[in-house]
Structure 1
Amino acid sequence: MKKILLLFGFLAVAGAAEAGFRCGNLLVETGDHESKVFERCGEPEYMEERIGYRGQRLRHPGGLDIEGYEQVIIHEWIYNFGPSRLRERLIFENGILVEIDDLEHGY
């Protein structure tokens, strides 16, 4: 049982380590603020801003509906590091990096 838990612990750490990429020799990872990413990687090739909403609707059996939504400012940045590396798409919500996606090779 201990071996299984230890294995899951290593997998969790390995997965967390992959949730980032390098700008030069500096690591960028989910949870970083936009200013930190900009400082480490410079200006992205592409930037877009949009508004999103997240929330939920709760229904009580007695007929009461409760809705809770919040507005989220979403920034999408794309970095192009040239033909020897993959392009990276970064998604920020309210200034915090929440998603990193590898795209095709750069140019």
Structure 2
Amino acid sequence: MKNSAAWILVLSLCCFNTAFAMRCGHDLVGMGDRKQDVLDRCGQPDSIETHTEIIGKTTRFPYRTIDIQEYEEVQVEEWVYNLGSLRLQQYLRFENGVLKEVKSLGRGH
């Protein structure tokens, strides 16, 4: 029973598409790193896309006495590293210069 639970955990982690870090040679980059730190460790990405998003939320109070809407303009950069045909491509998303997401894509070329 313990073996089957352990295998299910291992398989589910293997199928999980979002990583928390990316290896660049002997260095790791992960959530919270700044763009310049990633550039220093990994070099220039193969592609960069930049756009602005408006992220907001509405805070609703009981009895609907007041609703507070907060919006923030966020500068987003999406980087892709093609690490060759033997490794998966890596997608990195920066918001206001801070790494927020690392995701594995398909095989590189």
TM-score bracket relative to the smaller structure: 0.7 to 0.9
What is aligned with 2:52?
Answer: 51
Structure 1 unaligned runs (5+)?
Answer: 1-17
Structural RMSD (CA):
1.3
User: Structure 1 runs of 4+ off > 4 angstroms?
Assistant: none
Secondary structure of residue in 2 paired with 1:35:
helix
The whole-number CA distance in structure 2 between the counterparts of 1:62 and 1:26 is 51
Aligned match for 1:72, one of 71, 74, 97: 74
Secondary structure of residue in 2 paired with 1:44:
coil
What is aligned with 1:98?
Answer: 100
What is aligned with 1:25?
Answer: 26
Structure 2 unaligned runs (5+)?
Answer: 1-18
2:44 corresponds to 1:40: no
The whole-number CA distance in structure 2 between the counterparts of 1:26 and 1:32 is 12
Secondary structure of residue in 2 paired with 1:39:
helix
The total of aligned residue pairs comes to 90
Give deviations 1:72-106, integer Å, cap 9, x for gaps.
11100000010011000000000000100000110
The whole-number CA distance in structure 2 between the counterparts of 1:28 and 1:62 is 44
